[in-house]
Structure 1
Amino acid sequence: MTSTVAVVGAGPVGLLLAGDLRTHGVPTVVLEQRSAPMAESRASTLHTRTMELLEERGVLDRIGPLPDGGPGHFGGLRLDLTAADPTHRHAGQWKCPQTRLEAVLQERAGELGAVVRRGRRVVALRDRGTDVLVETVGTDGRRERLTCAYVVGCDGGDSTVRRLAGFEFAGRDARREMLRADVAGLDIPERRFERHPRGLATAHRWPDGSTRVMVHLFGTTPTPRTGPPRYDEVVTAWSQVTGEDIGHGEPLWLNAFDDTRRQATRYRRGRVLLAGDAAHVQMPVGGQALNLGLQDAAELGARLASSDLNAYDRTRRPVGTRTLTDIQAQSYLLLGGHEVEPLRRLFAELLEFDPVRRHLARRISRPAPPRPHPTAETTPKDRSSAMGRLTHKTALVTGSSRGIGRAVARRLAEEGALVAVHYATDEDAARKTVESIERDGGRAFPVRAELGVPGDVHELFLGVEHGLKERTGEAALDIVVNNAGVTTPAGVLPEDVTPEELDRLFAVNAKAPFFVVQRALPLLREGGRIINISSGLTRFASPDQVGYAMTKGAIEQLSLHFARHLAPRGITVNSVAPGITNNGSPLFDIPEAVEQMAQLSAFKRVGEAVDVADVVTFLASSEARWITGAFIDASGGTLLG
């Protein structure tokens, strides 16, 4: 099988990736439909994290000294990006014309052995499982076929690779548009996001004497376009906003950009991957699109070389989602009309506070770099710094004020989920769970409801829905973990169990989980996860727990039948059966008792709550999408006999 990687698109993203692949010894060919590099510079701003990546690769040395880009902004409000890390050698933002960056990156890629083939347009590709067949057409009309190990689409927002490979590109179309032009022969004042009664205007003088103008008319909707705007459109809009006539200028380059927000629902589909604007389209505010794409490429090069491709999606897609959300907020502040003035005043006040400036500056100039994916050997503390697999997910964990439930809530939050921490009576314990999550940088909120009593599930979901709407704007769930339960006191023989005790066991352990799932169904998004906590006692006889084991057997049936019922929605339903697990009870403070219990496990130790929480977290992730209706033995081998 061939080991060549085909990179489609010879922009900065594709060329950086091609050079990186060659540093790892990967044969690389770049396919570009343009016969020559672009002459215009669409983007010119480099942020701190990108400067680090370019410095590591020796690219900054090739480019030479770069001018300081001055203070940044958030939605047109001044934001000094040096606040992210004032002592960093690349603090702030830097200016480098895209044409210069592309030239240096192509030179580097070529020296390292990458082949750049211009004038080749991709017209077909087929992922055959073991390789990818790519068909191109040259400027002379001749067709060629290339067999490669992987194909990476770095071919921009209108990506041919994305379309041919069948990636889903979710999001929304533009609602606001800004006209942009580089114009020679103008002598107008420089402006920086200057708001006028009718719109927004920006003017910046380039070193060659030309002027970049950008203009937006408040309340106008984007014009359907098949090419750049006409210069008379720019002239008219500029006049309406500023009152100035720029009709005598000579347009060198014309462009329109808007606030379209779209992102591939996954960055990998078999042997085809996406990076840069092929993976996400956003308003190019403050240079974030270019920086985001270059950081995609830097991550993907290492992942392709090591064949750890799922980690690329897991690492970069959450960063893209977060950045697109930030850019959408900026587009409201920047291009909104008079209706956003109160919001702009509020943001301006907030930006007076150092922690706010530091937080927003870091999100723009130093987005979280790729971090290692958690492994079985990673400690809980180490995992808290890992890039979240559940970023932007929401979760409900019943009975999560202590024990296994608390560990599950913490792990889901560590992976990025917003967690509803349910408790019945111990408000202090629930508060401590939430505080521990927030200390580690996670998000959670408490919800009180006593299960097993009339109106229990209704009360639970009133709190869940209120908490979700307050924090996310909608009452939508991705993950439900039915963990809450009660047990039979140790030593109670089957003949001594009363009807009332059995009713209580079934009310809390079986009836409540059923109605929790039922009530959650309208809130669960497609591809959601339901995990029900069962027990090893459904497979291991302990007569004094017969009532409890019966209820957990019901949980397993609930999982089995709902798994079939919800499969059309992509929702998985599974049950997890812990064995003897340290739940913080006084029994586990007695060394002799712990030693005796440990002998039942194949590993000769009692389980810890985090052992079970890791299993639940896996089932809540996208990696477990092909597992449903399963009974997962999380007893440490206790059931092996």
Structure 2
Amino acid sequence: MAVQVAGAPDTDVVVVGAGPVGLLLAGILRLGGARVTVLEQLAEPTDESRASVLHARTMEILDGLGLLERLGPPPSAGPGHFGGIPLDLTAALPSRFPGQWKAPQTLVEKVLYEWAAGLGAEVRRGHTVTGLTVAEDRVHAEVTGPAGERLRFAAGYLAGCDGERSTVRRLGGFEFPGSGPVKELLRADISGIEIPDRRFQRHPNGVANSRRGPDGVTRLMVHQYGRTPGPDGRAPDFAEVCRVWARVTGEDIAGARPVWVNAFHNARGQAASYRLGRVFLAGDAAHVQLPVGGQALNLGLQDAAALGGRLAARITGRGDDRTLDKYHAERHPVGARVLGNIEAQAQLLFGGPEVDALRAVFGELLALEPARRHLASMISGVDGPRPAVPDTGTAEHSTATGPFTRTHRRTTMGKLTGKTALVTGSSRGIGRATAIRLAREGALVAVHCSRDTEGADDTVAAVEKEGGRAFAVAAELGVSGDVHALFLELEHGLKERTGETTLDIVVNNAGVMGGVAPEDVTPEQFDRLFAVNAKAPFFIVQRALRLLPDGGRIINISSGLTRFANPQEVAYAMTKGAIDQLTLHYAKHLGPRNITVNSVGPGITDNGTPIFDNPEAVAEMARYSVFERVGETKDIADVVAFLASDDARWITGSYLDASGGTLLR
């Protein structure tokens, strides 16, 4: 009997299923500080290697967790395809791992087991879940053990990663709309015989694919037109595979030795919700699809990464129930899109002569670079949300030689995991540093620029290099319709990546300097300063209130010039004084919603302008700070990150002096 502590669950999370999806989820939960027990029905790991490739987004996740070295690292698996039509997946949107990478599912499962168990996840094999009861504060799983004993496990949450015939999905009462199979594919790994390699070769009676691996084992797949699929979950014998192969190709493979044989079909289904209270679904438990092109395994591993970070944050107090709800909001649209493209591929791949014209048109389209990039990005998963996952640390590390050689900072489980943020003026300077810092804490960041789109794209690239998530939005501030244009792009970007338009954090950073003596300021310059520095932030806050949930954060970048005089910047200082008033009054107005509003006042900060390349000028400016140095953009970004976190929940309406003690002497 599972030992229970009075008044407390046995574990934080029970994960049902010790395949790659369940093991990755277990490891991420352990990294995030949660206790995990994995229950697996099989007494030993399967030797079936159904999937064999990893895509770019999955590679990024595994790299962030330091797992690629354990996988070999994986060699290139060559070009991909779309419905049997050649498609080079290196055409995907920028990624550190363009293309597809060879990693048999048996190896992935072995590596993930050793990693998760090494982190302290308890994996119990031979344990079959037979019942499920959800209480207000926990989940109870009824389990049959290896010797037939009846066990009971209590957990704060339970995740079903138990495959396409998921017991958790059935016992949990998840709705699972979809359609039944109409096409079947037989698959086998064989040795002891040589047959020609072919890539989804079309014949009058069907489609055949075969590829010999470096170990001498050939994987073949065959579909016969018009053949009725067998019962769900059946295991065909090798003689049946031989008969169908002969009908389609005319080749006799009866003399081969079968290593592994199975059948799969194009049934499709998707859970209406990936979360019901304290129970979650991930991988094939959440969606069933034809496993063409390796998308099924990759989709499941990405589900696990998205769920693991959020669930660990909730368990350890770094997130709330909204954090958990965002799992479904993010992953359900991604799953639906994958199911849609797989259905399209099934028609192209397994349709008879009636789809020849359609295949010809697709072939012409895939000769166009934008079409190749679009489909390659979709299959690789790089055009969707990037799951924020915890890591073993923040130290810089180097990976192996060849295409894996690079040094980068690992992403950590941060205090802003599951949050979204807008940072205006983040193509350079303080805004850029702030965007990178918030993303490092786990936030999805909208990187705004007025005109410097190249700089904004560079900030996004810097975020993604660290394993974070960001996207660029461009809208010039200080002109008519500026805020409307900004939020059109912002909401589109958020919806595309999270499935909703919730905005948790607003950082009003964008601004223009004056640098003109008081007597030389023109009305046009004065109006421009106020339009960008004061008017735009006011209406950005006003517009953002439609998207900000209770408990949101608003941080306005003010200036130390509101506290000490510099006549050359009097008009600029007036605009920042307006920002401080915006902060004060909105803080009182939004207090009932637990939305904090604060100002940060930088002093002399090296924002990359040419003056900071002059050592004498820098030395003179450093004299104004008690620390005898000029500020760095990261000094300000760290203050903003603090105010954006739950640590600053009791601070509002404040002006935080971030000037390094300027003019205290």
Q: Same fold (TM over 0.5)?
A: yes
Q: Which residue of 2 aligns with 1:95?
A: 102
Residue type matched to 1:210 in 2? V
Match of 1:239?
246
Deviation at 1:252, TM superposition (A): 2.0
Give the Å deviation of 1:366.
3.5
1:69 aligns with 2:77: yes
The match for 2:137 is 130
- Would the aligned equivalents of 1:21 and 1:301 in 2 still touch at CA under 8 Å? yes
Q: 1:376 to 1:69 in 2, by over 3 A?
A: closer
Q: CA deviation at 1:374?
A: 6.5
Amino acid at match of 1:146: F
The equivalent of 1:221 in structure 2 is 228
- What does residue 260 of structure 2 align with? 253
Identify the residue that residue 197 of structure 1 maps to in structure 2.
204
1:119 and 2:119 are equivalent in the alignment: no
Choose which of 92, 104, 124 in structure 1 pairs with 2:111.
Answer: 104
**TM-score normalised by the chain length of structure 1:** 0.61
Structure 1 residue 237, shift from structure 2 partner: 1.1
Pairs within 5 Å for 1:469-618: 608=539, 611=542, 615=546
Question: How far apart are residue 154 of structure 1 and its match?
Answer: 0.6
Q: How does 1:411-426 map to 2 (within 5 A)?
A: 413-414=492-493, 416=495
| C-alpha contact 1:412 1:617 (8 A) present in aligned 2 | no
AA aligned to 2:354 is E
AA at the equivalent of 1:144: L
Equivalent-residue separation in structure 2 for 1:370 and 1:292 (angstroms):
12
Amino acid at match of 1:352: A
CA distance in 1 between counterparts of 2:218 and 2:77 reads 16
Q: Secondary structure at the match of 2:294?
A: helix
The equivalent residue for 2:398 is none
Give identity over the alignment, percent. Answer: 51
Q: Is the 8 A contact 1:49 1:365 kept in 2?
A: yes
Contact 1:384/1:414, CA 8 A, preserved across alignment: no
Q: Is the 8 A contact 1:411 1:613 kept in 2?
A: no
- Post-superposition offset of 1:343: 1.0
CA 1:278–1:406: 2 relative to 1, 3 Å: same
Q: 1:354 aligns with which of 369, 381, 397?
A: 369
| Contact 1:374-1:383 at 8 Å conserved across structures | no
- Which amino acid is 2:347 matched to? Y
Within the candidate set 12, 17, 21, 2:20 is matched to: 12
Any stretches of 5+ residues in structure 1 without a counterpart? 387-401, 418-440, 443-477, 479-590, 596-603, 619-635
Question: Is residue 483–residue 536 contact of structure 2 (8 Å, CA) maintained in 1?
Answer: no
Once the two structures are superposed, what CA deviation does each residue of 1:258-293 show, in whole Å capped at 9, x if it has no partner? 111111111111000111111111111111111111
Is residue 165 of structure 1 aligned with residue 180 of structure 2? no
Inter-CA distance 213–616: structure 2 relative to 1 (3 Å threshold): same
Match of 2:30 in 1: 22
Pair 1:330 & 2:337 matched: no
Q: CA deviation at 1:227?
A: 2.1
Superposed CA deviations along residues 596-641 of structure 1, whole A, max 9, x for unmatched, are xxxxxxxx999959846864899xxxxxxxxxxxxxxxxx979x9x
CA distance in 1, matches of 2:482, 2:99: 45
Aligned to 1:45: 53
Q: How far apart are residue 127 of structure 1 and its match?
A: 0.8
Give the CA deviation at 1:348. Answer: 0.5
Q: 1:608 to 1:160 in 2, by over 3 A?
A: same
How much has 1:300 moved relative to structure 2?
1.2
2:202 pairs with 1:187: no
SS state of the match for residue 134, structure 1?
strand
For 2:556, the equivalent position in structure 1 comes to none
Which amino acid is the alignment partner of residue 114 of structure 2? E
- Give how far 1:149 is off: 0.7
Counterpart of 2:87 (choices 79, 99, 107) is 79
- Return the letter of the residue paired with 2:330: T
Query: Residue 286 of structure 1: SS of its match in structure 2?
Result: coil
DSSP-derived class of the 2:273 partner: coil
- Which of 131, 153, 156 is equivalent to 2:160? 153
Amino acid at match of 1:16: L
Q: Which residue does the alignment assign to 1:311?
A: 326
Secondary structure at the aligned position of 2:44 is classed as: coil
Q: So what's the TM-score if we normalise by structure 2? A: 0.59
Q: CA-to-partner distance for each residue in 1:391-424, whole Å, 9 max, x for gaps?
A: xxxxxxxxxxx9999999777645548xxxxxxx
Q: Which amino acid counterpart does residue 300 of structure 2 have in structure 1?
A: G
Equivalent residues of 2:71, 2:107 under 8 A apart: yes
> Does the CA contact (< 8 Å) of 2:32 and 2:313 recur in 1?
no
Find the counterpart in structure 2 of residue 507 from structure 1: none
Work out whether residues 408 and 610 of structure 1, in 8 Å CA contact, stay in contact via their aligned partners in 2: no
| In structure 2, C-alpha distance between the alignment counterparts of 1:413 and 1:137, rounded to whole Å | 48
Aligned residues of 2:310 and 2:418 also touching (Cα < 8 A)? no
Equivalent residue, structure 2, for 1:35: 43
- Evaluate the alpha carbon distance shift between residue 384 and residue 124 of structure 1 in structure 2; reply closer, same or farther with a 3 A threshold: farther
CA–CA distance in structure 1, aligned partners of residues 347 and 278 of structure 2: 37
Which residue in the other structure is 2:275 paired with? 268
Partner-residue secondary structure (3-state), 1:202: strand
In the TM superposition, what whole-angstrom CA distance separates every residue of 1:42-97 from its partner, at most 9, and x where no partner exists? 111011111121122121112223221010111111111111157x5522111111
What secondary structure is seen at the aligned counterpart in 2 of 1:94?
strand
Match of 1:298 in 2: 305
SS of the residue 1:189 aligns to: coil
